[in-house]
Structure 1
Amino acid sequence: MAPLKVGDKFPSGIEFAYAPITDPSPTACGMMTTFSCDTEFANKRVVLVSVPGAFTPTCQANHLPPYLSSASALAAKGVDLICVIATNDAWVMAAWGKANGVPPESESNVRMLSDSKSEFGKRFGWSLGERNNRFAMVVEKDGTVSYAECEEKPGVVTVSGAEAVMAKL
């Protein structure tokens, strides 16, 4: 299937595995559950960010931290939810969030989600074999994609970074 593009409707039925961050302790694990985009994205402006892997060099140093430090600025521009997906399992995503200071979900608009088999990335042509490529999209409250960009070179964060997304809001 072709990658999602500006003007497309975000597809229904998309789900990710999710272990909610309920406690900042790295030894406390939430119960894994299903994150339904149909439910969680409803009437929300969402930034969906994909990275190849939790704790990997570029993702850890240059991709996730700017989104976390820009969470308030993104909220001020009308973003209700920032969802970060990678091909790691839900507990690794939660641990990565905790290691980077993502607060419990009751205090945060950031969700660390698992696309463990790269199903979303493969379905929309944005995968790197068994991992998702590095991309970002904005889904508006009506479900319309208003921004969708994928990096062309590995290890580079330009069009999928927080700064690029903020410039388009």
Structure 2
Amino acid sequence: MAQIAVGDSIPDGKLAWFDENDQLQEVSIHALAAGKKAVLFGVPGAFTPTCSMQHVPSFIENAEELKSKGVDEILLISVNDPFVMKAWAKTYPDNKHVKFLADGSGTYTHALGLELDLSGNGLGTRSRRFALLAADLNVKVANIEEGGAFTISGADEILKAL
């Protein structure tokens, strides 16, 4: 599978999340992002240090500014089950805009071409760290990290592109 890139269309896929009423839902990426400006960002794993202390907070802390620049949806995707994602989301009580979406089997991550084999670390196949900016499902920015780096996929880099 080729890695998603600028100019590509965001593939559709079903992800799970707990909605505002704490109900488990299956949601389509296209239903969330079609006709909108959306940021999709992916992390290797819930509760891991860089993801929890830097990557996710960068989007939560900058959500209002992203919204003021026209971003309609901020979607976090991780290869974790929805119950883990729900528990992780609760550790950010100030979050109002980032949706924590579970790609439990990694199917959507595979469709993006962004798998990361962390079997050697006991984590199995996960997602590379990334941030995509899409307008009506068309990728405008694709900031995809190498290895365990966190240099180009934070909210600050997306803000620079807006």
TM-score, normalised with respect to structure 2: 0.89
Structure number having the greater strand percentage:
2
Q: Could you say which residue in structure 1 is the equivalent of 2:133?
A: 138
Count, aligned residues: 155
Distance 1:149 1:59 in 2: 15
Query: Structure 1 residue 165 and structure 2 residue 155: aligned?
Result: no
Distance 1:40 1:67 in 2: 18
Q: Which amino acid counterpart does residue 18 of structure 1 have in structure 2?
A: W
Distance 1:37 1:102 in 2: 24
TM-score, normalised with respect to structure 1: 0.86
Deviation for aligned residue 1:125:
2.2
Deviations 1:61-84 (A, max 9, x none): 111011100000000111011000
Q: Which amino acid counterpart does residue 114 of structure 2 have in structure 1?
A: W
How has the CA–CA distance of structure 1 residues 138 and 68 changed in structure 2, closer, same or farther, with 3 Å as cutoff? same
Distance 2:34 2:99 in 1: 15
Q: Could you say which residue in structure 1 is the equivalent of 2:13?
A: 14
Q: Which amino acid counterpart does residue 140 of structure 2 have in structure 1?
A: S
- Could you say what secondary structure the match of 2:90 adopts? helix
- Could you say what secondary structure the match of 2:147 adopts? coil
Gapped runs of 5+ residues in structure 1?
Answer: 23-29
Q: 2:75 aligns with which of 68, 83, 87?
A: 83
Aligned partners of 1:21 and 1:98 also within 8 Å: no
Identity across the alignment (%): 37
Gapped runs of 5+ residues in structure 2?
Answer: 118-124
Aligned partners of 1:135 and 1:150 also within 8 Å: yes
Structure 1 vs Structure 2 CA RMSD: 1.4
